[in-house]
Amino acid sequence: MNLNQKGVRALFNKRALTPFEIMKYLHLAFAFLTISGFVLRGIWMLRGSSLSRHPLTRTVPHVIDALFLGTGIALVLQLQLAVLQNDWLLAKFAGLVIYIVLGAIALRHGKTMHARRLAFAGAVCAFFYIVGAAVSKSPLSWLA
């Protein structure tokens, strides 16, 4: 039984979750929130909606992303992982940098709509590459 199955079983049997399980579920929840928020902002950007300039749209994603990164770092510490010796973790970091750069081009810095659309699609691909690397624990991601 892997950790995910153990965690789900704990929820059903009302066993207390371990601190690691709690952190992992928080990490997953923030991953879901961050990509949902990104896609929503992308749609607003593509439609030219004024919602993309709303003060909450400018602040809430930073809070979510900071908490998301915090749960990732907490998992690394809890598992006592050596970052440089875990290629899947390095692949996640590389993917995260690409996701952030392409995300910034898509939502902020892209000069043309075409560039923004391409960057948006690339950022979503980078995100799903990272999920694949996390699940498979391999830089080959979904191809592993």
User: Would you tell me which residues interact with ligand HEM (CB under 6 A)?
Assistant: 3-4, 24, 27-28, 31, 69, 72-73, 75-76, 79, 81, 92, 96, 99, 127, 130-131, 134-135
For residue 128, count CB atoms less than 10 angstroms from its CB and return exposed for 0-12, middle for 13-18, buried for 19 or more.
middle
Closest to ligand HEM by CB, 17 vs 69, is 69
Of the pair 53, 78, the CB lying nearest ligand HEM is at 78
Position closest to ligand HEM via CB: 72
Task: Give the C-alpha separation, 31 to 68, whole Å.
Answer: 7
- Cβ distance 31 to 96 under 8 Å? no
- Judged by beta carbon, residue 45 or residue 89, the one nearer ligand HEM is 89
Handedness of CA 141, 73, 2, 26 (dihedral sign): negative
Helices (H), 14-86: 19-47, 55-78
Residue 106 Cβ vs ligand HEM, minimum distance, rounded to whole Å:
15
Q: Cβ of residue 50: shortest distance to ligand HEM, in angstroms?
A: 28
SS3 call for 84: helix
Query: Residue 63 has which token pair?
Result: 């809070």
| Nearest distance, CB of residue 41 and ligand HEM, angstroms | 15
| Min separation Cβ 96 and ligand HEM, Å | 5
